[in-house]
Amino acid sequence: MYHEFTDPETGETHGSFETFYNDGSEFQDENDELLPIGFYWWACFPGCLPDGEPCGPFETEEEAIQDANDL
């Protein structure tokens, strides 16, 4: 699911990120090891490749969204 980054101080939006759930069988880190189970986010525009590594894991999608917006 795609979301916009929202500045918590101004409420302005900028950029885009995607949240996703990893069940432990698909996504790998830079060492080709499977990522732990949980929700993740990464900077990404719809239809484009991600811009960086996934951030997480988080227990809920809401926690992942909050972490992305806290940057």
Residue with tokens 């069940």: 23
Q: How many CB atoms lie within 10 A of CB 20?
A: 17
- Of 6-10, 44-48, 50-54, 57-61, the poorest mean pLDDT is in 6-10
The b-or-e profile of 43-64 (16+ CB within 10 A means b, else e) is: bbeeeeeeeeebbbbbeebebb
Q: What is the pLDDT of residue 27?
A: 87
For the segment 9-33, the average pLDDT, to the nearest whole number, is: 88
Average pLDDT (7-30) is 86
pLDDT, residue 37, reads 97
Task: State the pLDDT confidence band at 17, using cuts at 50, 70 and 90.
Answer: very high
CA separation for the pair 71, 61 (Å, rounded)? 16
